Chains A and B, each alone.
Chain A
Amino acid sequence: MITLAPGLYHYLIIAAILFCLGLMAILTRRNGIAILMGIELILNAANLNFVAFSYYVTRTLGGHVFVVFNILLAAIEAAVALAIVFAIYRHFHSVEVPDVNIMKG
């Protein structure tokens, strides 16, 4: 049912690498902003998958539409997350996530 034209695998591999890089950034970075950048990488890996599948597999515009919504949501999420990071900086004078740890247990 799925006919694969040459080229799809390249996109999928790039997307998988982007996903892993994003996950690595989230797990290893201590800086809040760097973690947010890792999240963007994962979102864009998904976007790349959607467009690649849409172009090579389904040959409809469905994937493109999804990506447009994703870009919008990523912007909203980044705005909210950065506002929260600013609030953190005001209280803790640091954006290093391990410093922000009053609550434990």
Chain B
Amino acid sequence: MDPTAVLQIKNSIPYFVPELMLSATFLLVLIGEIVTKRSTYGGFGLITLGGLIATAFLSLQLYKLPETSLFFRMIVVDNFGIFFKVIFAVSAILVVLFSMNSPELEKYSAGEYYCLIIAVVLGMNLLASSTNLLMIWLALELVSIPSYLLAGFLKEDKLSTEAALKFVIYGSVSTAIMLFGFSYLYGMTGAYEINDIRAALKAGEINSTVLLITVSLILVGIGYKIASVPFHFWLPDVFQGSPTAITAFFSYGPKAAGLALLIRFFYGVFAEGGPAYEVVGGLYWPALMAMMAAITMTVGNVVAIWQTSMKRMLGYSSIAHVGYMLMGFVLLRQDGIQAILFYLMIYMVMNLGAFLVVIALSGQMESDDLSQYRGLAARSQFASAILGIFMLSLTGIPPFAGFIGKFYLFAAAVHAEFYWLVIVAVLNSVVSFVYYGGVVRRMYLEEASSNTPIVLPSLSRTLLVILAIAVLAMGVYWSPIADYSERSARFFSQKAAIAKVD
């Protein structure tokens, strides 16, 4: 083997420790399951938690290093990628904590469950830092394939199996179409690395029709991952059928990874070093993206009003929130990207908090039907107060964090001079109050069918208090996380030559 290649791999390893940590945790849990044969959600959960906390910590150690390209320009280590690695690890930590006392999972093997979660996190980490078509495709499949299995994890449950079938069909079709788009992109440019692709697109005379078809094919794959309309059809059924902890996981991590890919791919190929989309002439891309954002949020919010299942309603709400986040994407400018990162942090807390209430209550309710939430205030003051906070924050009502997050996104759209998009988004926020407020109304103003008091497990109570305080605190004092998102998005404005390990 070429000695410089060995050296390149050897020098890349120190930048790759978070992923190595995840791989080590994966093997430890897998072997632990085989050796001990008896698996408990508590025991393996603690090992997984340890691994994920170490991963978050090791990722933060790499923050602020100059941007570095690893493994023959397959992946890149930069603040943007590390920002995502940390939020993936934190969201996975929360999901593991939710799973540790989730009654519906108990019958099934804990080791396999945590292994699959770790595999998805590893895939998301790679997806957020890939700069090479091959690596993007491999990482996307590493996120998708364990996700199909997690969706169908409740083998004896009809709904869960149905969710897995729908997920695997929609998912593999979308990623296969994306791969076909990649093959054309490779043919047109002769390159795999996104910087080389941009250079080739700029230099050569590209047929704009072919490029439009290619980008549309690729957008099918990315759109499926972030569940933007019209590629969202898989989401409601998958969300309703999957185990609730996994629904919480899907509602955040893989979508954030898809957004990271969307930003890095589009920015890398179409924008870097010049006005956005200059290489794809003939079509006004920002208007197209704004249209996608507007339709996504409207469909998500309007359809959510008619839902009767809590999980399904939160699923449509997550479609709407992706629509809001796409508002920051229209012009591919720093302030928009920064607003997306800022919103992702806030959305993680309020969205996963809402799911945690649903999981904690699921043991004592007959179903996840919204009618079960009638008169909840009389049965558990604590649960309804906390759920109320998350619902109002998701709507975007002032003292809560959701308002600040939306404010940044709206400001980005105003800067981009997409005023109609801001109007659509404000109207959408009003519409979203119908269903978020509907949950609060059911809890406080309607009569309960039963009066048995509900007591939440102490782990859930502690977690919920922490998350609710975080939502309130971020709503009044947000400058640290705003600075953090600004630093993480900075690579968009001051792009220096990427350092290569040698």
Contacts and interface: CB of A to CB of B under 8 A. Distances in A.
Interface of A: 1-2, 12, 15, 19, 22-23, 26, 32, 35-36, 38-39, 42-43, 45-47, 49-50, 52-53, 57-58, 62-63, 65-66, 69-70, 73, 76-77, 80-81, 84-85, 87-88, 90-92, 97, 100-103, 105
Contacts of A103: 159, 162-163, 236-237, 240-241, 312
Contacts of A32: 165, 169
Interface in B300-336: 306-309, 312
Contacts of B204: 1-2
B176 interface: yes
B138 A73 contact: yes
Interface in B114-164: 133-134, 137-138, 141, 145, 148-149, 152, 155, 158-159, 161-164
20 contacts: A1-B205, A32-B169, A35-B169, A39-B176, A43-B176, A46-B180, A46-B183, A53-B183, A62-B186, A66-B133, A66-B192, A69-B138, A70-B137, A80-B145, A84-B148, A84-B152, A87-B161, A88-B165, A91-B161, A105-B307
Interface string B170-198: 00110011011011101110101000000
Contact of B173 (A42, A46, A66, A84): A42
B168 A70 contact: no
Contacts of B152: 84, 87
Contacts of A45: 180
Given A32-B169, A101-B162, A103-B159, A46 B190 contact: no
A85 B173 contact: no
A80 to B, nearest CB: 5
A69 B137 CA distance: 10
Nearest to B180: A46
Contacts of A12: 187
Given A39-B173, A97-B165, A100-B162, A1 B180 contact: no
Given A66-B192, A70-B137, A77-B172, 4 more contacts: A46-B180, A50-B186, A53-B186, A105-B308
Contacts of B241: 103
A53 B187 contact: yes
A76 to B, nearest CB: 6
A100 B200 CA distance: 47
Contacts of A39: 172-173, 176
B203 interface: yes
Contact of A58 (B138, B164, B190, B306): B190
B300 to A, nearest CB: 14
Contacts of B236: 103, 105
Closest 8 CB pairs of A and B: A49-B183, A53-B187, A42-B176, A58-B190, A1-B204, A46-B179, A46-B183, A46-B180
